[in-house]
């Protein structure tokens, strides 16, 4: 049986959803490590951003429907997924991780977490199953698990975001773009990716290492 790695998507595009390069590099690394990606997303709205202008349009799209673009249609509503279905869980970055899966982008350490995302992440942590978080997604993990587990994780070296992460009870660790932070006690792996990457190869290298580390922790 292949190891089943949940991949939680938050839309399709860095400014209002999942960062596409990070999500695809995650899927590729999972497959190349002999595991199976199980894509999922919440069935909620997102506020559309025109990626040519960088401006919000005022229109809404659906996170699950847009995430299906990255998953080539093979995607599950996260409300239907339990920790027992998975061996590990990975969160690619993009603003969607901080705006759709929670409201960290607006609220920082006091962020509210989308209920099914919070439930599944807490189930995984309680079952001691590994969690990977890429780019800004470690802030989501920190806001969800900080109080109970005090994880060590990284979003690179942005001092403001690091401070907000530390306010959740988690500990931020500075980390270069092609490296990763592994919290072995909590089985939480993180890498900065496009929080620091100047190009797709830098992001991919850290993600490849992080996905491999997640799978080795299973």
Q: Would you tell me how many other CB atoms lie within 10 Å of the CB of residue 33?
A: 16
Measured from the CB atom, the residue of 87 and 208 that comes closer to a second copy is: 208
Q: What percentage of the chain's residues is helix, strand, coil (to nearest 5)?
A: 45, 20, 35
Under 8 Å between Cβ of 184 and 195: no
Stretch that binds a second copy, among 27-35, 140-148, 172-180, 210-218 (CB under 8 A): 27-35
- State the helix-helix crossing angle for 200-216 and 20-32, rounded to 10 degrees: 40
Site string for a second copy, 30-49 (x = CB under 8 A): -xx-----------------
Cα separation, 91 vs 70, whole angstroms: 14
The residue within the footprint of a second copy, chosen from 1, 58, 72, 160 (CB under 8 A), is: 72
Site string for a second copy, 73-112 (x = CB under 8 A): x-x-------------------------------------
Does 135 participate in catalysis according to the annotation? yes
Tell whether the torsion through CA atoms of 162, 122, 110 and 42 is positive or negative.
positive
Q: How many residues contact a second copy, by CB under 8 A?
A: 32
Burial class from Cβ neighbours inside 10 Å (0-12, 13-18, 19+) for residue 1 reads: exposed
Our finding on whether 69 is near a second copy (CB under 8 A) is: yes
Our finding on whether 51 is near a second copy (CB under 8 A) is: yes
Catalytic residues: 135
**Residues lying near a second copy in the complex (CB under 8 A):** 12-15, 19-21, 24-25, 27-28, 31-32, 50-52, 54, 64-66, 68-73, 75, 194, 199-201, 204
């Amino acid at each position: 049986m292949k190891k089943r790695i949940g991949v939680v998507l938050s839309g399709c595009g860095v400014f209002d959803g999942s960062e596409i390069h990070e999500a695809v590099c995650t899927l590729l690394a999972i497959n190349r490590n002999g595991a199976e990606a199980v894509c999922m997303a919440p069935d909620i709205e997102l506020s559309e951003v025109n990626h040519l202008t960088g401006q919000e349009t005022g229109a809404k799209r659906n996170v699950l429907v847009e995430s299906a673009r990255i998953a080539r249609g093979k995607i599950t509503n996260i409300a239907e997924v339990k920790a027992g279905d998975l061996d590990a869980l990975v969160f690619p970055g993009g603003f969607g991780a901080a705006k759709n899966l929670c409201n960290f982008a607006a609220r920082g350490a006091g962020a509210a977490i989308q209920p099914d995302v919070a439930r599944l992440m807490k189930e995984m942590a309680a079952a001691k199953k590994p969690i990977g978080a890429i780019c800004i997604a470690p802030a989501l993990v920190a806001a969800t698990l900080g109080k109970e587990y005090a994880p060590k994780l990284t979003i690179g070296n942005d001092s403001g975001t690091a401070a907000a992460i530390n306010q959740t009870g988690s500990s931020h660790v500075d980390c270069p773009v092609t490296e990763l932070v592994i919290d072995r006690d909590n089985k939480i792996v993180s890498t900065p990716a496009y929080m620091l990457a100047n190009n797709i190869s830098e992001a991919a290298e850290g993600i490849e290492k992080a996905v491999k580390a997640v799978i080795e922790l299973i």
